[in-house]
Each structure stands twice: as C-alpha cells, then as structure tokens.
C-alpha cells in the first residue's frame, strides 16, 4: 500500500471509528493508583538497538519516553506502586511474525537509560516477560500471577498504562486485564486508563522489513491510527 493509500485508510478508520479526545490527566492520590510501564526498553526505543528499534530518532517514541519518565518520577516521589514490564526473550524461542528482538541478557531487554533508575526504587516491581501479553507473561510456574498479586497487595483501584507498542503489547495487556477484572480476578481494581501521550508504536517500514528475515512490516502512522480507534 502506497503513502496515499495508507492516508486514505487512516482517514477512513478515523471517520468510521471515532476516538474520544484525551481528557487532562489528574493524579490526586484520593484513590489507590498504580502505574504500568509496558516494554519501555532499548529494543523498542533506542536508536539502532535491534531489529524493532528505531533506525533514526523517532519523535513519537521520544515523546512516549519523556511522558513515561515524568509519570514515573511523580509516582516514585509519592511512593505509589509501579509495575514495569520488560520484553525479554530466550534466543532459541522465536516470536513470529516478529524477528529476534529484546534477547534476555542483552541491552535490548533493559529499560531505556532514562528509566533504568527504577530498578532500585522500593515501590517498583520489575517483571521480565517472554511473550506479547504482559498479563500472561506475569504468570509463574506455580500458576500464580505477579501482576495480580501486585494489584491485590497494593489495593489498587486504578491502573494507568503507558508504553510501547500501543497496538500490540499495550493493547494485549489491557484487554487481558479488563477480562480478568470483569471476571472478578483483580479485585479491587475498577478502572484501566491508557494514557495515549505516554504510548507509542514502533516503525518498521515495508522497505526495511523486506531485508529482515521473518519480519512483518509495521508502518508507524498506520499502526498508530488503528490503535487510536481501538
């Protein structure tokens, strides 16, 4: 699909599935609120860090990181709970249709430099995941779920979600959390808020994807428009 075709498709999506405009984000502390950071790691955000990282500086990703850092600082200053997911894959376990990325033990799977300080904060739970969905990636071998335990232990009623990739990992995580909440597995959680200024999607144009074995094209503008209408 050419640029003109992509723009037409985006306009059609916006007209057929209108999205509500973001309201101002107010954090008062009146209700127990947790912050979830989804995959803000080098492998998705740092220029040249891997197959799914930006090739050149990317305005959308940089803005997402900046917003996430601001929120993380506020939550840490107030000692509010943070759950940070890190995409982290075994080199011998592929995740089609994606090429190898965020391999465990490499810099790709580390939080971006601007957020690495979170690793030492007492109010932060860091969870490495080896699948797209961070809710499923939080399941332990004994069947317990680290995210569920985090919600319950902190008596969280609202979670604020930021991160990358809006239309894949963020979307999958949020859908699973909503399903678990609706089934009564996440009491006392009531609301899930996706803060779109703190979200981004990666850019893998067709011409670059063709040169990466097993890669599926993922144009940023098109993916963002689809995610914004979800």
In a domain, 192, yes or no: yes
In a domain, 89, yes or no: yes
In a domain, 5, yes or no: no
Q: Which domain holds residue 132?
A: 32-226
In a domain, 23, yes or no: no
* CATH number, residue 109: 3.40.50.850
pLDDT in tens, 140-184: 999 999 999 999 999 999 999 999 988 889 999 999 999 999 999
In a domain, 11, yes or no: no
Total tally of structural domains belonging to the chain: 1
In a domain, 22, yes or no: no
In a domain, 13, yes or no: no
Which pLDDT score is estimated for 220?
Answer: 55
Q: Are residues 214 and 5 in contact, defined by beta-carbon separation less than 8 angstroms?
A: no
- Lowest-confidence range among 10-14, 36-40, 42-46, 183-187? 10-14
């Amino acid at each position: 699909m050419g640029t003109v075709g992509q723009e037409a498709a985006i306009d059609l999506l916006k007209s057929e599935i209108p999205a509500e405009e973001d309201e101002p984000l107010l954090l008062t502390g009146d209700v127990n609120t947790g912050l979830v950071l989804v995959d803000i790691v080098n492998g998705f955000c740092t220029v040249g860090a891997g197959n799914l990282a930006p090739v050149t500086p990317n305005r959308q990703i940089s803005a997402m990181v900046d917003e996430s850092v601001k929120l993380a600082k506020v939550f840490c200053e107030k000692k509010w709970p943070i759950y940070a997911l890190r995409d982290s894959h075994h080199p011998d376990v592929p995740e089609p249709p994606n090429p190898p990325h965020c391999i465990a033990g490499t810099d790709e799977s580390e939080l971006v430099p601007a957020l690495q300080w979170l690793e030492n904060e007492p109010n932060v739970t860091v969870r490495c995941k080896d699948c797209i969905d961070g809710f499923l990636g939080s399941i332990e071998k004994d069947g317990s779920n680290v995210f569920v335990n985090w919600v319950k232990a902190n008596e969280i009623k609202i979670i604020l979600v930021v991160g990358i990739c809006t239309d894949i990992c963020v979307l999958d995580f949020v859908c699973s959390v909503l399903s678990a909440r609706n089934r009564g597995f996440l009491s006392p959680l009531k609301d899930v808020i996706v803060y779109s200024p703190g979200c981004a999607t990666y850019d893998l144009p067709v011409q670059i994807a063709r040169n990466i074995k097993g890669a599926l094209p993922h144009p940023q503008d098109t993916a963002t428009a689809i995610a914004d209408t979800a």
